[in-house]
Amino acid sequence: MKTPSAAETPALLLLERLGQLLGTSATAQTVYGTPVEREGVTVIPVARVRYGFGGGGGGGTQAGEGAGSGLGAGVGVSLTPVGYIELQEGRSRFRPIRSSVVPLVAVSGAIAWLLLRSVPRLLRSRNGK
């Protein structure tokens, strides 16, 4: 019986196939969406795209042994809108989409400060009863 080479193992074949699939989907259209035109202004959405994949397999400790054999793989894709390109009157301009995390952190900090400021008052009123 012929032993498969490293290039023919199911795990490597699966990883190669996943790489091919991701390669065909990683196009400029994935990052730059379909342009939309309204009243002389064209808008092209822009996204950050991240791909990751991995896989592996294992075999039994002895020939013909099924214990421990298996194959697994996973793929992850993350698309995050980052802005848009605005085309108007022969000019282009990139308009970023601002993250809402900074205002959320600022509001959370203000609320925490107000709560902490009121703790001594609450403790005095509780001890006074």
DSSP assignment of 104-123 equals HHHHHHHHHHHHHHHHHHHH
pLDDT confidence of residue 42: 95
- Delimit the domains of the chain by residue range: 31-124
Separation CA 45–CA 95 (nearest Å)? 10
pLDDT confidence of residue 68: 54
Residue 59's nearest CA partner among 15, 3, 104 is: 3
pLDDT (tens digit, 0 to 9) for every residue of the chain, 129 residues total? 555 555 567 767 777 777 777 777 767 777 888 899 999 999 999 988 887 777 666 665 555 555 556 667 777 777 788 899 999 999 999 999 876 555 666 667 777 777 776 777 766 776 665
DSSP string, 57-114: EE--SSTT--TT-EEEEEEEEEEEEEEEEEEETTEEEEEEPPPSHHHHHHHHHHHHHH
pLDDT confidence of residue 16: 78
Contacts of 58 (CB under 8 A, 6+ apart): 68, 69, 70
pTM of the model as a whole = 0.51
pLDDT confidence of residue 94: 95
Separation CA 72–CA 56 (nearest Å)? 6
CB 55 within 8 A of CB 18: yes
